[in-house]
Structure 1
């Protein structure tokens, strides 16, 4: 990265409530700025640190932000400063920054913290004028730093910034909540008990709604949709229906800031009282509280926060006097910039809309995904039917390809949404071989109970592709079973196999039925979708393993070479490297040469000679057929000259194991909802369209089967253009320490 900003000074602080992933953002800001030859300062205790000055503003170097990716909270502290709310406090803050030669500031916090940055920037010229008049600053100092520039980054577990799809900490908080729900579900089932769980989200129901979908809760109360006069009746009716259907446990989720349509607050204890009075339930209340803020950040909150911090440093260092302050945020699967003042203003419109009962405005401000999840949860928690209607059209659901965590969540959603939409969902056991052998069975509402939180695939999955000799048998099964549509959830083999069946429609009339593909692969290498079900879970398994591997080296000088899955797709390697703090990532997309390895050896020797204690290299399993993980490890060890030792780890199938993350559960539900809707419409219309449903730049996209492989490298089994490769400069900025002068 070119050193374009020599002499510029940048400060970073965290403010307001803490959020997991703040440390990743701070690390990225510091290292990106240093890579650009700027001077970087960290401010301790939020805005209070610049008000107090002194040791609260300290210059930092590369190693000062080492080994912090895995830590929750914020290492530089946060504080809700009363002093900064007063003009006198802001005047002191301006003086302290100017005395350090700082006129660029990055604030990581919620909307209140970002509003404070905007107000500070607006007042800056007047504050400096007052300081010059009082003799606290010279005219030369004021002229040299006449404008405050910078950027905001949203750190909030509530995920409440309008315009941003996800904010720092929200994914980790969701992990805490869903883990708790999974644990509560098992104890509740043991006693046939109801739990009422309160989660954070004063004006935003993101955590409650996503957790309700991922945790398969019975009912959820969120601020954006104030419950009407009949909410008690509806809730009790759904809990009763669930018990009558054989469910042993019930969970009601309540966002902390929810009010009813008359503006009266509804607490978890209120719900508990209703259940006792109306149903005679001895419901238990669990208020998760600040445990939602705690713990190590998820993989997403590490790599995305790193990307956000990198972009914030570029924005702040590249700003010119008079530029509008941006807030850097994740939107549509990318990192971009929004006008800070507009984003904060829109965010504050949500509670105003809620207060006046404008539900549609409040929901629309939260974005399309929020509305989709609200609708799909309503469909599954308050369905018009739970039994298959007589003579319902039959659709088959199958898995194919490698196992991906979240397949069960997808099959669960297919069955329940299919029944709700008037379909008879038939499960195929064992992929295409099961389809050919007639291993099919109708699945009822209760048959898929408990599937969502479990890893693996209850329907089974096989990598076998249907071949010419199988087509007749598959066609016969489809005809005999009166299958009117197929939903295939799986990896590349699922896509290739369904494409084969689609191509044979002229020869086999039974294949002239609607077909829909949904991506499920930890490799994240499928066409027509930027993210696949299972990839997020695999990435979290990788990051958990890397944390343990790195911890094992705490008392040694060691280089680790870790191999991850992905075949010819380097997604897991790249994102694992960003989230795990790797210094080097080997990708098949870039290749590995002897010259590369020679440079890496020189870098290892130099850095360990300068005091480095740990070096982490991540290798995609197919990065190079000759330069294997074992070869690279032996090479590094042979050339170490006693400066360090080398260990290698092949993570293997732990990447396919584990229970699906909240993100994979929500993704599976969202994509399958669209797939089932399309199948239901086409079955009713009698059409035979075939497509793949995927997520591209945050939006659901449908790709016709005829164009499925248009932009796909069939030899390497990956898309020709992969969005995540644009993160290579981010990885280089935070992992390659500039040469010390």
Structure 2
């Protein structure tokens, strides 16, 4: 092997800076991937302090050492500030400890400060080794065997403030904590007609505050990137009063910890409280969430994201040459991307510099299009009422309907549809009871406050079902669309909803009233519709599954047990694969692959060997339609019989609890943002005289529209799933992570 492409001798992994939920999943992925490739891997405890202290703080790891860390919050490796590592002597000690163990590649999981320190260490590496040779601390041969230090960085930070990645490890979990707290506060605020001022973390980044506002219907928001106008205090009071005047029983003002006015003066929760009490006489309370935002078990997304990035980090180290620029591993859309590490650090710091220089437009620009679009949407939906309709604008009549099974986030979609549509001056209609209600004319015009309080509710207030119109029902539906003068239709739903929308689209030549633009928005926990890699509702379902599996894990460990957990998904294995990756399942059975007797035999032997060597838990995830013969009950009986004295087996069929519960922050936010895109699509068609219909979805890392006419060519004719399922690319990763 050439020197340029020589593999690392050993890999070290450390966590540094503030702790973030998901760090443990990233460490686990690094260890499992390195061992899979036959490379020694060392866990470095207590951050950079452990690196320069050495001894027991640097430990060689095996995959079995990570069995109990995936679901734990914080970082089991520990993190600590090290002033000594900032010195040349400290870094030289760290280099000696690494060379003694053959470590010449590092995966650093931390924030911009930790990653900057790692890059300085990397640059100094050859000189540090030369100094160690001169002092006799290491041999020239040892230095020659490790001429360079390879480096990759993963961002572990709840603030989501790093350039080069859409999401940082820990941000989604922090958002969960904030949203859970704010949902609880809204109920008590409503009971007493109070105003709550809630302060959230984020340093100089308003991501957590902005997204929490979208997910919880906060009434006022203050973030560092967009300071309020000079008269902000009086405007806030006017807006809060306007909400009270239309019947709102509670108000929430959300302030990021780094918020300030246009002159750079901090805006504190105490200041806001004082203004509301003095100007409005409001009964106001302050809640500072503090470090609870960092704590607790990581969300399903953070476990998955950290696993994905940890695996990619090792793969990058294996392919990098000795001269390669250190990279940051991140996520753009649904794709893993690599970006020069220090470029990301520089752009991250540039945002803070823009804010300090009062260049707020520049700061918003650097935060990215998604951040700016979310802020714009929030400004509309948090108003007390729609803006006056401009003179001469045609009042189009838009309707929204659900189709398919219930999906968390449906109410958010209707809420956003009503308020964003009304703000454009349109008449907005909600179809009750799905396409059956559209056939029967069960259609209601909606007002601004009709959807108040819907932001946090699961289920579907306007109803949904799996009815697909055909024959006479098509003609009846066409009559109702004509009778209610519907100009455009949003279908927010799943498989049956897509079928129904396509049926209407297909008959537009036969019925004039059906010649309207229709846009389908993916909302199904199964993630089984075409034109998208991700459906609204699936994140909530994944979190529900992972939370239940965490409880199952505790039960199983106590009794040396194998659990066979059945999850939903019909003919699509998305929930099974992603929940298996996020919960550390040993085996995942998917409908795309089926189950064979040979694979079952191998799995039984693997489990038995594991329990003989000290294993205490076996976790099997089975998708509900994985195999018609090898059912969950059959598998459980088989494992129970073959486990003998080594282990027993139990089944857990999670059932429809996966469809229930309040939607996750991700599903709330994306239901709102996708609905905004759907309304933009309909507006463009109607205002230009167009009649195109489409399916909206996440594709190749961004939102795209696909012509609804192509629907039949994009689905599997033999199963309820799309032909292309890019998430199946993660199947190999699941095999590496299993033990």
Say whether the 8 Å CA contact 1:6–1:36 is kept in structure 2.
Answer: no
Aligned counterparts, 1:406-485, within 5 A: 406-485=409-488
Distance of 2:8 and 2:151 partners within structure 1: 16
For residues 208-227 of structure 1, what are the structure 2 equivalents within 5 Å? Answer: 208-227=209-228
Q: Is 1:574 matched with 2:560?
A: no
Contact in 2 for aligned 1:227/1:261 (Cα 8 Å): yes
Q: Contact 1:387–1:444 (CA<8 Å) still a contact in 2?
A: no
Matches within 5 A, 1:596-615: 596-615=599-618
State which of 642, 656, 664 in structure 2 corresponds to 1:661: 664
Number of residue equivalences: 733
**Paired residue secondary structure (1:103):** strand
1:391 offset after TM fit, Å? 8.2
Tell me if 1:726 matches 2:715. no
Contact 2:8 2:318 in 1 (8 A): no
Distance 1:494 1:602 in 2: 44
* Deviation readout 1:126-169 (Å, 9 max, x if unpaired): 11112222222222221112211121111000001112100000
Deviations 1:246-298 (A, max 9, x none): 11000011111122111111111121122122222232111111000001100
Q: Which residue of 2 aligns with 1:529?
A: 532
Of 692, 700, 704, 2:695 maps to 692
- 2:105 match: 104
Deviations along 1:584-628, one digit per CA (max 9) or x if unpaired, are: 000111221111111112212222222211111111111111111
User: How far apart in 1 are the matches of 2:389 and 2:613?
Assistant: 69
Match of 1:739 in 2: none
Report the TM-score when normalising by structure 1: 0.96
Mark the CA change 1:523 to 1:504 in structure 2 (over 3 Å): closer, same or farther.
same
Residue 119 of structure 2 corresponds to 118
SS at match of 1:302: helix
5+ residue gaps, structure 1, are 737-741
CA contact (8 A) 1:388 1:424 kept: no
**Range 704-713 or range 629-638, more displaced:** 704-713
Whole-angstrom CA distance in 2 between matches of 1:463 and 1:27: 41
The residue aligned with 1:636 is 639
Deviations 1:537-569 (A, max 9, x none): 000000011001111112221111111110111
Shift of 1:387: 8.0
- For the Cα contact (< 8 Å) 1:713–1:720, is it kept in 2? yes
Question: What is the match of residue 671 of structure 1?
Answer: 674
Instruction: Give the TM-score of the pair, scaled to structure 2.
Output: 0.97
- 2:198 match: secondary structure: strand
Closer, same or farther in 2 for the Cα pair 1:387/1:660, shift >3 Å?
A: farther
Q: How far off its partner does 1:706 sit? A: 1.4
Which residue is equivalent to 1:627? Answer: 630
* SS of structure 1 residue aligned to 2:466: coil
Residues 470-479 or 210-219, more deviating:
470-479
Distance 1:387 1:439, change over 3 A: farther
SS of the residue corresponding to residue 558 of structure 2 reads: coil
- Aligned match of 1:183: 184
In structure 2, the gaps of 5 or more residues are none
> Matches of 1:700 and 1:382 in 2, distance apart?
26
| Aligned equivalents of 1:144, 1:284: Cα separation in 2 | 62
On the 8 A contact 2:8/2:104 being kept in 1, the answer is: no
Cα drift, residue 483 of structure 1: 1.4
For 1:722 and 1:539, the matched residues in 2 are separated by 17
- Does structure 1 retain, via aligned residues, the 8 Å contact 2:49–2:85? yes
Q: How far apart, CA to CA, are the structure 1 residues paired with 2:194 and 2:717? A: 52
Which one of the candidate residues 488, 492, 500 is aligned to 1:489?
A: 492
Residue equivalent to 1:157: 158
Q: 1:544 aligns with which of 534, 547, 562?
A: 547
Superposed CA deviations along residues 372-396 of structure 1, whole A, max 9, x for unmatched, are 1111101212477268999832221
Residue 650 of structure 2 corresponds to which residue in structure 1? 647
Q: What is the CA distance between 1:5 and its match in structure 2?
A: 9.2
1:2-50 Cα offsets, whole Å, 9 max, x none, are: xx99982111110000000000001111111111111111111100001
Inter-partner Cα distance in structure 2 for 1:349 and 1:384 = 37
Cα distance in 2 between the residues matched to 1:546 and 1:19: 21
Q: Measure how far apart 1:439 and its partner are.
A: 0.8
Contact 1:20–1:172 (Cα < 8 Å) also in 2: yes
Question: Match for residue 93 of structure 1?
Answer: 94
The corresponding residue for 2:275 is 274
| C-alpha contact (below 8 Å) 1:189/1:249 kept by paired residues | yes
Contact preservation (8 Å) 2:386, 2:419: no
Separation in 1, partners of 2:49, 2:110: 14
CA distance in 2, matches of 1:409, 1:188: 21
The answer as to whether partners of 2:32 and 2:63 remain within 8 angstroms in 1 is yes
Q: For the Cα contact (< 8 Å) 1:165–1:367, is it kept in 2?
A: no
